[in-house]
Amino acid sequence: MNEAYDPNANTMGLMAHLRELRKRLIVSFIVITLGAIASYMYAGELFSILCAPYFEAFPQSPLIGTSPTEAWVLKLKVSVFAGMILTSPILFYQLWLFIAPGLYAHEKKMVVPFILLSTLLFGGGAYFCYRMVLPLSLAFFHDEFISIGVTPTIKIGDHISMTITALAGFGAVFELPLLTFFLARLGVIDHTFLIEWFKHAVILIFVVAAVLTPPDVLTQFLMAGPLLLLYVISIGIAYLAARPSSETPTAASETAPMAAEAK
């Protein structure tokens, strides 16, 4: 894009990338496991939080279990999800460590803003889903039951799976502006690219919304709407984040003053 790419700067071989990826995945697995163990002790409270939107929309409909092992399996699932939320700053730090070798020296100093923003964006997306999307979606589902004269009795596993998928999906898509910023800084995309691909992005956004949300049109639009807005915001972010042509093109020039001092 605006900045020339130096093939000799910030390079890693394929095997080095794979070893680094394996290291980061192992660390992330250990961190999530520890977070899940800590969260398991509060599984009852976590269930109450995740089920609160359901009971507001379905006040007369209990959640039921249909398998002897279902409660334990769901406690594990909820604990792992809570562990991921609890340790998300560390997980985002592991992601940073994986992509950092491809950044320039002055860009590597952005680690703290990256961790803070990524955590806040993910949490903001999950909170928006919990406070806005889930209540509206569940109220819609309840009205559909009433319209056909059926008293709903919902499986706890179905509700928890739907809720976790929706929370994680909204948290992930809210990372779009931050992802755009770093891709623009790396020279992978720019604002003109995003504008040219806007029509394709609209289709992709609705496909992603259909995959990450429960199978109803309302929830899909509730995800697609904010995602379209985030895409438009990302165009502005890409414009502001693009490297000026006057910026140092290679990492080698950044180390030149250090080399001079060494002499």
Mean pLDDT of 52-75: 91
Domain limit, last residue, from 144, 173, 202: 173
Same structural domain, 26 and 36: yes
Phi/psi for 240 (5° steps) reads -75, -30
Same structural domain, 193 and 209: yes
Q: Is 155 helix (H, G, I), strand (E, B) or coil?
A: strand
258 part of a folded domain: no
pLDDT at 216 over 80: no
Segment 107-127, tens digit of pLDDT: 777 888 889 989 999 999 999
256 part of a folded domain: no
Q: Which of 116, 234, 91 is nearest to 168 (CA)?
A: 91
Same structural domain, 203 and 243: yes
2 part of a folded domain: no
Q: Could you tell me the pLDDT band of residue 21, with boundaries at 50, 70 and 90?
A: confident
Highest mean pLDDT among 9-18, 49-58, 253-262: 49-58
Domain limit, last residue, from 140, 173, 206: 173
Q: What is the mean pLDDT of the chain?
A: 82
Mean pLDDT of 4-9: 46
pLDDT at 91 over 70: yes
Print the domain residue range for 157: 12-173
Same structural domain, 20 and 147: yes
263 part of a folded domain: no
Q: Could you tell me the pLDDT band of residue 248, with boundaries at 50, 70 and 90?
A: very low
Integer angstrom CA distances of residue 169 from 48, 109, 128, 211, 226: 21, 29, 11, 9, 12
260 part of a folded domain: no
Same structural domain, 145 and 158: yes
Q: Comparing 121 with 188, which gets the higher pLDDT?
A: 121
